[in-house]
Amino acid sequence: MAAVLHTMPSRIRLTRFWRRIHASSVPVIMFHGVIPSADTSPFNASGKMVSPEKLRSFLAKIARIFRVVSMDEFVACIRNGERADNIMVLTFDDGYRNVYRHAYPVLKDMGLPFTVFVSTGFVDTDRVMPSDVLNYAMATTAAAVLPKGVLPRDVDIGTPEAKATALELLKNALKTAGADRKAGHIDRICEALRVRRDGPEWDDARFLTSAEMREMTASGVSFGGHTVTHPILSSETPDRVRAEVRECKHALEAITGTRIDVFAYPNGGRGDFSEAVKNEVRQAGYAASFSTIHGLYRPGDDPFEIRRVGLDNRWSYEEFETRASGILKAFRR
């Protein structure tokens, strides 16, 4: 039933009717990465990365309904309290190098503006996000059991379903751990599962360079803050939150030579930021900030808690259009 609900409104063109009534609601689309191997990559268990072909196809179709605008235009509407009907904003979280390699050429060719939220501590390094290391480790290990350590008991990982369950348990266990403690846990997990952390496939999960960011900036791509080390801000001390938010902004402005006005909360769920965190972002000089909470932005909404629509590689175009239209809200009342 849920699958039908997520595709049927698009198939019978009900989304077009809904948009005529709710034209002022803005879908901010959240991507993460774009890789040719999106259907098979061990880094893509969650479906957060899409193929260049799917990116082009989906956006070519959705552009018949929405006008894709720059982040500057969207922020101007927020600041001025202006209404702009049937606009859409495209964003990428984290700052993967594959955005430069595979998304940037597609979107440049299509003439579509977009914004990349970058965790600056990963720029110009070979570091990989802990969550991506876990995805890779669980997808590639031949082990049938994860020994206790990070988790309080041995955990079966002998089937795809068991691996998915174990992966979720690990991510939850490490979610609020400090950077050093989390790195130690990741090392122990990889050792226990006999996972190598080199090879060309790891390029799918590495980050942008300063030179790539400057080239993209010169072509009109905009950037936003995503902290320095990608911590869960609601779990950090006020001093750490302030440093993560402000140092990220300063680093991005130094790299791009532009003013950085927008921010996205790492992880971005309801419990991953707080009113205190939002205030730190505001005080740092950002004009708006984005969550990963599903939904559309409506004029008058809190500009420091903007909802987004996260694109999943497993979706059909019909599901993407249905979710981007905002019509699912009508079925959840």
Predicted confidence (pLDDT) per residue in 100-151, tens digit: 999 999 999 999 999 999 999 999 999 999 999 999 999 999 999 999 988 9
Same domain, yes or no, for 47 and 136? no
Alpha helix stretches (DSSP H) within 143-231:
160-174, 179-192, 210-218
Alpha helix stretches (DSSP H) within 175-312:
179-192, 210-218, 238-256, 275-283
The pLDDT assigned to 46 comes to 86
Final residue before a domain boundary, out of 168, 196, 224: 196
Spatial separation of the C-alpha atoms in residues 244 and 242, rounded to whole Å = 6
Final residue before a domain boundary, out of 146, 181, 196: 196
The pLDDT assigned to 44 comes to 92
Confidence of residue 226 (pLDDT cuts 50, 70, 90): very high
Q: What's the mean pLDDT in 202-216? A: 96
Q: What's the mean pLDDT in 160-186? A: 87
In angstroms, what is the C-alpha Rg of the chain?
Answer: 20
Q: Crossing angle of helices 130-140/179-192, nearest 10°? A: 10
The residue that leads in pLDDT, 264 or 173, is: 264
Same domain, yes or no, for 97 and 205? yes
Domain that holds residue 189: 130-196
Report helix, strand or coil for 20.
Answer: helix
Confidence of residue 332 (pLDDT cuts 50, 70, 90): low
Same domain, yes or no, for 104 and 223? yes
Confidence of residue 12 (pLDDT cuts 50, 70, 90): confident
Same domain, yes or no, for 171 and 281? no
Q: Which of 88-102, 129-143, 274-288 has the lowest mean pLDDT?
A: 129-143
Same domain, yes or no, for 191 and 321? no
The pLDDT assigned to 83 comes to 85
Give the predicted TM-score (pTM) of the model.
Answer: 0.94
Q: Are strands 145-146 and 155-156 parallel, antiparallel or unpaired?
A: antiparallel
CB 24 within 8 A of CB 301: no
Same domain, yes or no, for 228 and 293? yes
Q: Which of 13-17, 58-62, 131-135, 179-183 has the lowest mean pLDDT?
A: 179-183
Measured between alpha carbons, how far is residue 239 from residues 247, 264, 271, 327 in Å? 12, 19, 19, 41
Whether 311 has a pLDDT exceeding 90, the answer reads: yes
Same domain, yes or no, for 210 and 98? yes
Looking at the DSSP assignment, which residues form a beta bridge with residue 28?
A: 89
**How many structural domains comprise the chain?**
2
> Average pLDDT over the chain, rounded to whole?
93
The pLDDT assigned to 2 comes to 63
